[in-house]
Amino acid sequence: MVELFIDFGYCYSFISGKIMLSFLLSRLVSTFFVVLGVVTLVFLLIHLVPGDPVQAMLGEAAQPADLESLREALGLNQPLLTQWWLYITNLLQGDLGNSLYSKEPIIDILIERFPATLELAFAGLLVAVLLALPLGSIAALRKDTVWDNGAMVFSLLGVSIPNFWLGPMLILLFSLMLGWLPVSGREGLASLVLPAVTLGTALAAILARMVRSTLLEVLSEDYIRTARAKGLRESAIVIHHALRNASLPIITVLGLQLGTLLGGAVITEIIFAWPGVGQKTIEAIQQRDYPVVQACILLISLSYVLVNTLTDVVYAWLDPRVRYSV
């Protein structure tokens, strides 16, 4: 009998592993095609934007011969399909090209800028979690009370207030009037506070509503009533039973919103002069630096796609029903 149970456990683990591997392969294949579509779309949109980068580089007084010579040197005189194929080929080889202005390798620019964007995105995510978990939990535990209404009003305000208004207001209050925090730049932990709060407030509002609705659903389950009947403390019930079982949809929202934070950090980086990929993207657009714009947008898009794929994998690992549904 013991050997039968051992064989059954081995077979179950083997089948479960095969299903998980199949799930991973399907996600990787879909991710590849999504990335290819993003690369192509970014390439086409950048090249359809009005404006000539060669004209911008040489100025209005440039001679036609000089313009044509530089355009040929940069490969911008070739057909669009040829430029796309060369871009894809170089991209597969890890070659993002050089900036049209600084002549610096684009990979070096991204290596220099991306850590700042990651730092801001994770700081915003941390602010969102620290605000949303207690607010959502209190709103669920004190349903239809002043606490619940206050948390939902905060959520409504957080979703409604745009970053380009909230950021300057925080600068005006905490930097100019009170003098507590730096106005802009990336010079230590203090300079990270205002950008992180600006970026994380909207996510905190969304996450607080998700925590509230998920906890309300979980708190009505039979095992919660059983835990209360056993005399467990309410804090232990919420932390060890309710929040644990409500974590799956919360993890999904966190994963999706982390990708959104990476892309949405552009406005916040501009407001606070944060030296990240978003600020570099705007600078490159103003300079008509096509290769840098393509690389920056591609990096943000890839980050979003990879975070979503990782979220799917974590979700499937936590909930086996997701694997079997593929």
Amino acid identity for residue 242 in this structure? A
- Per-residue pLDDT band for 12 (boundaries 50, 70, 90) equals very low
What integer is the mean pLDDT of 93-107?
Answer: 82
Is 152 in the same domain as 198? yes
Is 85 in the same domain as 120? no
Is 203 in the same domain as 269? yes
Contacts of 62 (CB under 8 A, 6+ apart): 55
pLDDT at 199 over 50: yes
Is 187 in the same domain as 256? yes
Convert the pLDDT of each residue in 176-192 to its tens digit. 888 888 888 788 788 88
291 belongs to a structural domain: no
Is 152 in the same domain as 80? no
What integer is the mean pLDDT of 252-279?
Answer: 79
Is 266 in the same domain as 130? yes
Is 30 in the same domain as 136? no
45 belongs to a structural domain: yes
Tokens of 159: 């979703």
- Per-residue pLDDT band for 8 (boundaries 50, 70, 90) equals very low
Number of domains in the chain: 2
Compute the distance between CA of residue 261 and CA of residue 15 in angstroms, rounded to an integer: 37
In degrees, to the nearest 5, what angle opens at C-alpha 52 toward C-alphas 47 and 55?
A: 155
- Record the pTM: 0.75
Is 40 in the same domain as 171? no
228 belongs to a structural domain: yes
308 belongs to a structural domain: no
Lowest mean pLDDT among 49-58, 144-153, 181-190, 286-295: 49-58
Compute the distance between CA of residue 204 and CA of residue 230 in angstroms, rounded to an integer: 34
- Per-residue pLDDT band for 27 (boundaries 50, 70, 90) equals confident
Please report the pLDDT score of residue 321 as a whole number: 54
Please report the pLDDT score of residue 51 as a whole number: 65
pLDDT at 13 over 60: no
170 belongs to a structural domain: yes
Is 203 in the same domain as 140? yes
CATH number at residue 174: 1.10.3720.10
Lowest mean pLDDT among 128-142, 150-164, 249-263: 249-263
Is 160 in the same domain as 57? no
Compute the distance between CA of residue 95 and CA of residue 19 in angstroms, rounded to an integer: 36
Please report the pLDDT score of residue 93 as a whole number: 81
- Per-residue pLDDT band for 318 (boundaries 50, 70, 90) equals low
220 belongs to a structural domain: yes
Is 268 in the same domain as 119? yes
Is 191 in the same domain as 126? yes
Compute the distance between CA of residue 172 and CA of residue 161 in angstroms, rounded to an integer: 16
Please report the pLDDT score of residue 324 as a whole number: 46
SS3 labels along the chain: CHHHHHHHHHHHHHHHHHHHHHHHHHHHHHHHHHHHHHHHHHHHHHHHCCCCHHHHHHCCCCCHHHHHHHHHHHCCCCCHHHHHHHHHHHHHCCCCCECCCCCCEHHHHHHHHHHHHHHHHHHHHHHHHHHHHHHHHHHHHCCCCHHHHHHHHHHHHHHHCCHHHHHHHHHHHHHHHCCCCCCCCCCCCHHHHHHHHHHHHHHHHHHHHHHHHHHHHHHCCHHHHHHHHCCCCHHHHHHHHHHHHCHHHHHHHHHHHHHHHHHHHHHHHHHCCCCCHHHHHHHHHHCCCHHHHHHHHHHHHHHHHHHHHHHHHHHHHHCHHHHHCC
Domain C-terminal end among 92, 127, 152: 92
Please report the pLDDT score of residue 125 as a whole number: 87
- Per-residue pLDDT band for 35 (boundaries 50, 70, 90) equals confident
281 belongs to a structural domain: no
323 belongs to a structural domain: no
Compute the distance between CA of residue 117 and CA of residue 72 in angstroms, rounded to an integer: 35
Neighbours of 1 (CB within 10 A): 5
What integer is the mean pLDDT of 291-299?
Answer: 84
pLDDT at 109 over 70: yes
Task: State which residues form the domain around 146.
Answer: 114-275
